[in-house]
Structure formats: structure tokens, C-alpha cells
A and B are shown apart, each in its own frame.
Chain A
Amino acid sequence: MQSPYVVPDFVQELLAVSSSGVTAIIQKLSSLLSLPVLVVDPFYQVLFFSTGNEAVDEIVIIPDNEQEFSSVFNCQISTVDTIKNGVAHPITVNSKKLGFLILSWNDAGLDARRYEEVLSYASSLCALQMQKSLEIKREKQKFKEAFLFDLLYGNIKQKEDIIEYGEIWGWDFHVPHTVIVFSSKEEDHFFTNKQMINTLLQIVEKELIMQNVKPIAMVKHQQVITMFPQADTNHDVDRGKLQAFTETILKNAAKLAGELEIACGIGKRYTNPAELFRSYQEAKIALELGILLEISTPMFADLGLERILYKHDLQDLIEFHNHTLGSLLEYDKKHDGYLFVTLEALVANQFDIGKTAAASFLHRNTLRYRVKKIEDILDVKLDDLHVRLNILAAFKIRQLRKIGNEGC
């Protein structure tokens, strides 16, 4: 009688758990061999660990020698305080390398070849599972833009749903986020430079990765939209980080985007991700006002007065402007004077004589004389807070509504 076709037990046991995923496979393998098992990506970043993922971040895999690892090979596994030996087997699908399956042990001198067959078999099982999840991921990627659209337009009303969906792409919506919008300063919203906008997206994503943030970013029409996580409870730290981030993007974009000037806008921070749509709308407003006011990193939260002034009836605004500054403009026109510019500088320097003098290269006394003159012409006292507010508002109106020097 010929010997029967025997399927080894380990094959049966591994196959039985394989549909539950890579973790189940390596856990089973680990218990079969009584050795820890890992799966790493092609760059030796750990993906799965049979003992759980707690200590995984600390591990470095070092292949032995310059081996051509087409099949099983030896390697070293270094954690923070130990170096262990191991044997690895590539995980491939259609000759595409998805990663490696690795056994590790403390003692030296285990015969790698003894494990070759079981590793090869387990690797194929892992390969199938990893390929499957890759496909699912790709499939999900298609939904990413739809999800972000829904997020930006408030179509998902439940916080929990957003958090759950976010996890698919590794985004943590427990953390508060702020929406930042980048766009070209060009006024035309419809006729987009697609290449420029994709470059901008890359810049944003790269910078986020550098900051160890899983990027939430998308292109919509002519904008790049990103959601910036802000875990810090300290307001100033948050602000600082936001500002630094946007400035970096603008700087990098300036290098790459060439002719096109890039503007940005920053919304408010929202703890509830279901409210992020507001942050997006706010960011877009900040962007528009930022262009008008020549603020490089405009934040919606800072633009309250500006928004009110921008929305207000133009005729009314012009009246207010002329009432507040008209006589000074007229005086300058008649006398070829510079008092208006002086007042503008004063406003820009928070009405601080010292700073203004320095900024406009004027002697303090000259400046004082001019301020007195301005007060006479406008018939106001510039140390009065109400007067200052009016003048500040009038200057903002000029910027926002592009009222020329002729004003009126």
C-alpha cells in the first residue's frame, strides 16, 4: 500500500485561522513554533507582532550580510535594549513584495532551513490576506474624497460616525481640528491650473508627514483644503503651530509654484468634528479677506470687524470713511501733503509714537508736530479710544472695499 497524501497539521491549523487576518495567522504560527512572529513592510517597518503591538515602534530589523533574500534569510531584531536573532521570509504576491514574515528567538544558531517550509506557507497565507486588505484600502480610498466632502459640508451629523470613518484612514477626530485652505490669489475660481494645485497638495501632505501627522488633505476646484489637528489645550501654542505650518507651506509653495501667488485662510478650531464644516467656510472667508487686507496667514477668528465692514452696505461705508478721513485727504490734496500716509503709519503701529517714528524714519518731534496737525484737521483727539477705533475702521474700509485716494 502506498503512503497516503498527508497534509501536515500546521497547514490545517494555519489555514483554519487565515481568513481572520494576518494577526491571527502569526499568532497561530507563534503558538505552533513557540516563538515570537512579526510582519514588516518592505522597508522593515513593523506591521504586525504576534505579542501585540505595544513595543513595536522600538524595533529595528537588520538583515544579515548582503543576502539576496529571495527566500529565507537570517536577520537581527533590535529593540531598545536587546538584539535578537531571527529568520525572515519575503511575503510576495505576483512577484510584488508586500513585506516580510520574521521569526525571532534569543538563542543563536537556529537552523533557518528548518523553518523554511512553514515560513513559506505562512507567508503565502499572509500575502493573500494583505493583498485583500490592500484592495479594501484602495476601495476605501475612493470614498475618502466623498467622506471629506461630507465632512466639509456638514453632511455627517454624528460625531461618532465621523470618528469611526476617520479611523479607516488613520485620522483621529477625537482631536480638535482647524481647516486651512490654500489657493492661488488669482481671482478666477473656475479656470484652474491643475498642475499647480496638485503640487500644492503634495507640499501640504509632505509637510504634514514631516510633522508626524497623517495628512487630511484634498483638492477641491482650485483649493487645497487640509484639516490640521490641534491637540494642545494651550491657545497660544496652537496658534503658533498653525501659523508656523501655514508659513512653511507658503514658503515652500513660493519656491515651487513659480508665477502663481498662493494665499491661505485659516478657520476656527472645532472640537466636535461635526462642526468642521464651519471651519472650512470660515477658512475660505479668511482667505478672501486676507488677500484684500494683505495678511499672509489670515485667521477667521481675528477678522470680526473686517467681516462686518466687508458685508456692510457700501454707500454707508463710503459715507463713514469720508466723514472720518475725508478732510485729511482733502487737505493733503490741496497742500501736496503726506499727513494721510503719516496717519496710516500711526494706525499700523498701534498709535505708538515711538514705533511709528522708527518705522517711518521720522524724528519723534516731527511726528508729534504732524499728529497735532492731523488732530486739528480732523478736529479730533487721537488719544481718544473712540476716535482711534473710528480711524482704524475707516482704514480697514479702504483696504477692504478698495476705496481710492479720491475716496468718495
Chain B
Amino acid sequence: MVKWAGFLFNADDCIHCKACEIACKNENQTPTGIQWRRVEKVAPELYLSISCNHCDSPECFRVCPERAFTKRKDGIVQIDEDLCTGCGLCVTACPYHAPQFNPETHKVSKCQMCYPRQDAGLPPACVEACTTGALSIVDLNQFSDPEATRTLPGFPDIRITCPSIVFYPPKPRKRYFL
């Protein structure tokens, strides 16, 4: 079976260091303000590193009048910037703020899951940069772990889009506060 490329994000291991976010900019040289990957604090002690989730049902892909989006057989959703007219429909359609409008080029761009790197057998830049291993890629056709969850509090609604990401939630810890 063809692989189904997805992200695995371990919220228990993420330290919010933002290396993934900036490594993405380093690899793709995106301008300031265009964040294909973002690390966000969504609740006390809960950080999420979110990019395009290369959804099984990508809304960007459905709504684009120019058919600028394609979904590869391994699940990666690509955008062809040459076809983009900057109409912004995908920007509003995506619950994860993955497609981002660049006011200077009047084009939308988004995470392409570093497909040139993956095609060369390398992990995406964000995954390579993750010093704790909290962010990784998995083949969702093979992945199965009862401890993994489809979503976490603070992650946008996964209905409709079926994002290609799975999570490990934070574990409870023991604390003595003053």
C-alpha cells in the first residue's frame, strides 16, 4: 500500500523551543509573517506545533477555483503558486491557517511537507530540527497506538478535514507549589 504521510506530535515532549518553526523558515526562506509552521501555547502547559496537516479531505483543495492544490498519493497536499490568483478562499476554508496569503506577492503559500526532501529520503526540516523528537512523521496506514489521540484541546475541529496528524497528550505530573 502507498504510504500515508502524517505528522506525529508528542505534546508531552514538546518544550516549545520553536526550532521547528524557524527551521522551516531556514529551509524555505519564507518571509517574516509567513509561518508555514507555528508553535503556539493553546492552554496552560500545552503547546502545539502546527503546520499544514495535509488533510485527507483538504478544504483548500476543494474550494480552490484554480485547482492550484494537488494531493499526492502519499497524502502530501501541494500548492502550485503559479496557478494561485490570491483569491483567498483556501485561507478562510482551512481550519488550521495553513494556506497563508502573502500581501507582497499576492499569492498563497503553505507547508509542502518538504516533499523534495522527503523524495530524497530526508525528513521534513521541522522534524529534523526537533531536538526532543516531539515532532516526527509517520505512515498513518501503518501507525497504530492506543495511547495516541486524533486531537488535543486547543487543536481546531478535525471534522470535515480529517487532518493527517496524530498526537500524544501531556502526562499528568506531580507538583508542589508555594
Residues of A within 8 A of B (CB): 146, 149, 153-155, 157, 187-191, 221, 277-278, 281-282, 284-285, 288-289, 292, 310-311
Contact = CB atoms under 8 A, between A and B. Distances in A.
Nearest to A292: B159
Interface in B112-150: 140-141, 143-144, 150
A153 B75 CA distance: 10
B30 interface: no
B9 interface: no
A185 to B, nearest CB: 12
Nearest to A191: B144
A281 B55 CA distance: 11
B67 interface: yes
A154 B70 contact: yes
Interface stretch (B46-54, B56-64, B102-110, B168-176): B56-64
Nearest to A282: B62
- Chain A residues touching B, majority SS: helix
B140 A190 contact: yes
B150 A153 contact: no
Interface residues of B, number: 21
A311 B94 CA distance: 10
Interface of B is mostly: loop
A190 B160 contact: no
Given A149-B73, A155-B71, 17 more contacts: A146-B73, A153-B70, A155-B70, A189-B150, A189-B162, A190-B143, A190-B144, A190-B150, A221-B56, A277-B62, A281-B58, A281-B59, A281-B62, A284-B160, A285-B160, A288-B159, A310-B160
Contact of B57 (A190, A284, A310): A284
Nearest to B77: A153
Contacts of B56: 189, 221, 284
Contact of B160 (A153, A154, A288): A288
B173 to A, nearest CB: 27
B57 A187 contact: no
21 contacts: A146-B73, A149-B73, A153-B61, A155-B71, A157-B67, A187-B150, A190-B140, A190-B166, A191-B144, A221-B4, A221-B56, A277-B62, A278-B62, A281-B57, A281-B58, A282-B62, A284-B57, A284-B160, A285-B57, A288-B159, A288-B160
